[in-house]
Amino acid sequence: MQRVHAHRSIVLPGTNHIDTARWNPLFYVFRHYFGDAVDLGKTFRAEH
């Protein structure tokens, strides 16, 4: 069984669907953080 949790502020009222216009994911890829394909910074372990 898999479960997905979403904050109620991004769920469409009365549904179990995420409002993609309000969803702003944060990704961690190879020691870098990205949100909406914009580099948001590096971890303290990232090379300078």
What string of H, E and C letters represents the secondary structure of 1-48? CCCCCCCHHHECCCCCCECCCCCCCCEEECCEEEECCEEEEECCCCCC
Q: What is the pLDDT of residues 14-48, one digit of tens each?
A: 998 988 888 877 788 888 887 775 666 777 777 65
Go through the chain and tell me how many residues it has.
48
11-17: list long-range contacts, CB under 8 Å, 24+ apart.
Answer: none
Specify the pTM. Answer: 0.49
**Model confidence band, residue 13 (pLDDT cutoffs 50, 70, 90):** very high
